[in-house]
Amino acid sequence: MKSKREMPETLIIRPPSEYRSLLVRLTRGCKWNRCRFCGLYPHLGELTFSRRMVADVKHDIDLLRQRNLKSETAFFGDADPLQIGLTEFIEIARYLRSVIPVKRLTSYARASTLWKLKENGIRDLAGAGLDRVHIGLESGDAETLNYHRKGQSPKMVEEATEWLKEAGIEVSFYVLLGLGGRENWQKHIRETARLINKTKPEFVRIRRLWLYKSNSFISGPECPLYADIRAGTFTPQTPEGTVHELRLFIEMLDKYLATLVICDHSNNYVHVSGRIREDKNDMLSAIDDFLRLPEQEREQHYETVGSRI
């Protein structure tokens, strides 16, 4: 007879904002796994994608409950947990809510997967108790998204976000500075700001492109984008260019936007956070103060931040 595990499976990654959450693994790795800038799951040791059995996920939830953790929130991973199937996802969400009284249930989700569910599927997710989705928007520029094989279009993001909002599910987008390279950075940023102004998500979390090598401390395969860099088709943004991208992005956001923009990752060169309609000018001033520092001081700062997950 197969013995039951005594520890729940752990996620490969989770958003920093979910550090207090109960972490529940529905799928392993990323089914899509094609984005040029990513390859993160194979790099971190999850070479292939797989779906977990609903009974095993429920068993993990039972284990989390028995450990009597004080978390008031729960989070579903890995990259796109809806790949387990809508019915299965809903069954797991309902089960979790029935045995653990969490105040908030969130999940990673690909925009294209949500888009395929259409309005009814998204409404069903809300009915099962899903409160918020963390979506890798990365860019609002169709050209940049296509180049990086993200598998989503700005139009798809717009429609999926509208259905999420109608269903009452909060949207947390991740925006990736540097994704346009030095060739296309202005368009990447301008189109991303345009899409944020249009979709009005609750959160935008800023990240910087992380180019990891195969000889990093984890030693999985290197970031696929390195092949393009060697071929000369993609030129990485400079550190200072990344700060200018952040400035342009915030400058272009609508001053009435209620969105909370947060640099909640240690790989950001400048950390500014705030609600745009209240804090936009302060955020821009903080970036300008940094850019007025002596060049040597700025360069030293970039060295200390480095590149990391």
* Chain centre distance of CA 113: 14
**Nearest approach, Cβ of residue 123 and ligand SF4 (Å):** 24
**Does 157 engage in binding with ligand SF4 (CB under 6 A)?**
no
**Does 173 engage in binding with ligand SF4 (CB under 6 A)?**
no
- How far apart are the C-alpha atoms of 138 and 207, rounded to whole Å? 9
Of the candidate residues 22, 23, 26, 35, the single one contacting ligand SF4 (CB under 6 A): 35
- Helix spans in 128-224 (H): 142-147, 154-167, 181-199
- Helix spans in 101-141 (H): 111-127
In the complex with ligand SF4, the residue whose CB is nearer, 208 or 247, is: 208
Tokens 């809510």 identify what position? 97
Of the candidate residues 11, 23, 40, 93, the single one contacting ligand SF4 (CB under 6 A): 40
Residue 18 DSSP label? G
**Does 33 engage in binding with ligand SF4 (CB under 6 A)?**
yes
Based on C-alpha coordinates, what's the Rg of the chain?
20
Q: 3 by DSSP, 3-state: which?
A: coil
Provide the residue type at 136 as one letter. Answer: G
**Nearest approach, Cβ of residue 258 and ligand SF4 (Å):** 26
What b-and-e string marks burial along 53-91, b requiring 16 or more CB atoms within 10 Å of the CB?
ebeebbbbbeebeeeeeebebbbbbbbbbbbbebebbbb
Binding track, positions 60-99, relative to ligand SF4; x by CB under 6 A: -------------------x--------------------
**Does 269 engage in binding with ligand SF4 (CB under 6 A)?**
no
In the complex with ligand SF4, the residue whose CB is nearer, 5 or 34, is: 34
**Does 30 engage in binding with ligand SF4 (CB under 6 A)?**
yes
Tokens 């990240």 identify what position? 207
Of the candidate residues 27, 32, 64, 178, the single one contacting ligand SF4 (CB under 6 A): 32
**Nearest approach, Cβ of residue 33 and ligand SF4 (Å):** 5
Size of the site for ligand SF4 (CB under 6 A): 9
**Nearest approach, Cβ of residue 257 and ligand SF4 (Å):** 25
Find the Cα–Cα–Cα–Cα dihedral 175, 186, 147, 132, rounded to 10°. 20
Strands 50-51 and 27-28: antiparallel
Positions that interact with ligand SF4 (CB under 6 A): 30, 32-33, 35, 38, 40, 79, 110, 136
